[in-house]
Amino acid sequence: MKTICIYFQLHQPFRLKRYRFFNIGRDHYYFDDYANEDILQQIATRSYVPANRMLLDLVNQYKGKFKVAFSISGVALEQLEIYAPEVIDGFRELAKTGSVEFLTETYAHSLASLYDPEEFRNQVKHHSDRMEMLFEQKPTVLRNTELIYSDEIAEMVYDMGYSKMITEGAKHILGWKSPNYVYQAATQPKLKLLLKNSRFSDDIAYRFSNYSWNEYPLTAEKFISWIAGTPAEEEVVNLFMNYETLGNLQPSYTGIFEFFKAMPRFAFENGIGFATPGEALDMHKPIGAINVPNPISWTDEERDLSAWVGNKLQKSALQSMYEIGERVRLCTDRRLKQDWLYLQTSDHFHYMSTKHFGGGQSQFSPYMSPYDAFNNYMNVLSDFIGRVKAQYPDTVDNEELNALLTTIHNQEMEIKRLQAELKKVIGTNEEMLVEKNPKAQKAEN
């Protein structure tokens, strides 16, 4: 049976406030709380809250046969907990149905997989633990920031214990192949891959309300007929999109909610089912491997990394930030570690992109220009680096830091081992006391 796999990405960055050169060394708070709260609450009202309610109704209406999946960045989760806790409650209700899967990703929605493998591992674990705590699900499928993937990243992901991942079905990678199958990584055959069907996903996410599109208006019946018309042997159609598609990027007056409400009915009438990414990857065997020597993403026509590393400004900012990663991991200052996460968010570097300046996605940037974004970020980063160096000066080189990190890690392992042994000894002594003095034990009972 042909299957539809729907996945939504939910992410909001901690936007930076206007931070001048003269603030460096004086002001250590970097974030625009007013803008972050205002934007998040607006989007939650227009999109997240009504979308959660609609999806819960659909799951209940079709008795769990309708299924979806989410990946929610850690920085978005933190803002939702502060500014829109009702959205978290909605996700908890969805999690309880058993028909909604939560994926894991980098906690900070960062580019760590490209620059700092240790940071990448730490963030994925941090995010997975947070998802399990909030929604009582341990994620089994990994979704890297912006669906970024390469053969090298595949090896890192598998070494972290994951055997399932989702990414972009980029045309320049697939060639004549269809994205509607399960694939495997070329460098790690045990890592199974689910690929986004860009045509069908973008029909909803970008073209749905485009009056000049020759398929406008898009109805659920028409859309499902396209999926039903794909070759019978093609197993799974992956619709991956931003959660803001529902109600924000495609406002409610466009009919986007009605479209999604009607989709399951037409799918089931055509013998098409729904599955989460984890289920789809379990149900189907890979039909072959895909080679991705250079990283891909789901952004822009090129489906590459140029939106974040396409110019010297972006590369300079990224290099300056990740150079201090080892020093930050050494510190125990909670505020410093928190700022480190927030400053890694990919959005900061996307705002520096010159690809769309004057059009395209530049409308989402809070800055007047990419150069304004770069200057503001580098002022913040300069202050942050100063705080890091105050704890770990430049006189300590990276080799010394690595040695110190190894020593600290070994000490932590030894402490845990000794604590475990002490626990055993205490337990043994208590048992011996009970055996020697059973009367005292009975008296206590």
Please provide the average confidence, as pLDDT, over all residues in the chain.
92
> Which of 239, 246, 323, 208 has its CA nearest to residue 50?
246
Quick: pLDDT tens for 137-190: 999 999 999 999 999 999 999 999 999 999 999 999 999 999 999 999 999 999
Q: Look at residues 241, 269, 290 and tell me which one is the last residue of a structural domain.
A: 290
Residues in CB range of 257: below 8 A, 6 or more apart: 50, 51, 54, 246, 247
State the CATH number of the domain containing residue 231.
Answer: 3.20.110.20
In a domain, 339, yes or no: no
Q: 418 is in which domain, residue-wise?
A: 398-444
For residues 92 and 86, what is the distance between their CA atoms, to the nearest angstrom? 10
Task: Give the N- to C-terminal CA distance of the chain in Å, as an integer.
Answer: 61
> Which of 103, 106, 145 has its CA nearest to residue 279?
103
- Residue 359: predicted pLDDT: 42
pLDDT band at 393, cuts 50/70/90?
confident
**For 262-266, 357-361, 377-381, 415-419, which range has the lowest pLDDT when averaged over its residues?**
357-361
Cα Rg, the chain, nearest whole Å: 25
In a domain, 34, yes or no: yes
The H or E element containing residue 399 is helix 398-436
- Residue 364: predicted pLDDT: 81
**For 252-261, 322-331, 373-382, which range has the lowest pLDDT when averaged over its residues?**
322-331
Q: Could you tell me if 258 and 117 lie in one domain?
A: yes
**Counted domains in the chain:** 2
In a domain, 111, yes or no: yes
For residues 198 and 203, what is the distance between their CA atoms, to the nearest angstrom? 8
- 33-43 vs 74-83: helix axis angle to the nearest 10? 90
- Which DSSP category does 418 fall into? H
* The amino acid at 297: S
Q: What is the rounded average pLDDT of the residues 52-74? A: 98
- Which DSSP category does 17 fall into? P
Q: Is the pLDDT of residue 131 over 80?
A: yes
Residues in CB range of 181: below 8 A, 6 or more apart: 195, 234, 235, 236, 284, 286, 287, 288
Quick: pLDDT tens for 290-344: 999 999 999 998 999 999 999 999 999 999 999 999 999 988 899 999 999 999 9
Q: Is the pLDDT of residue 37 over 50?
A: yes
Q: Could you tell me if 419 and 276 lie in one domain?
A: no
- Residue 331: predicted pLDDT: 85
In a domain, 164, yes or no: yes
- DSSP assignment of 74-112: HHHHHHHHHH-HHHHHHHHHHHHTTSEEE-B--TT-B-H
- Residue 164: predicted pLDDT: 98
pLDDT band at 357, cuts 50/70/90?
low
Q: Could you tell me if 279 and 413 lie in one domain?
A: no
Q: What is the rounded average pLDDT of the residues 86-114? A: 98
For residues 64 and 281, what is the distance between their CA atoms, to the nearest angstrom? 19
In a domain, 79, yes or no: yes
In a domain, 198, yes or no: yes
Q: In DSSP terms, which residues pair with 251 in a beta bridge? A: 247
Q: Look at residues 261, 290, 319 and tell me which one is the last residue of a structural domain.
A: 290
3-class SS shares of the chain: helix, strand, coil, % to 5: 55, 10, 35
pLDDT band at 95, cuts 50/70/90?
very high
In a domain, 130, yes or no: yes
- Residue 274: predicted pLDDT: 98
Q: What is the rounded average pLDDT of the residues 264-276? A: 98
In a domain, 312, yes or no: no
Q: Could you tell me if 284 and 403 lie in one domain?
A: no
- Residue 295: predicted pLDDT: 97
For residues 337 and 333, what is the distance between their CA atoms, to the nearest angstrom? 6
Q: Look at residues 237, 269, 290 and tell me which one is the last residue of a structural domain.
A: 290
Q: Looking at the annotation, which residues are catalytic?
A: 146
Q: Could you tell me if 424 and 276 lie in one domain?
A: no
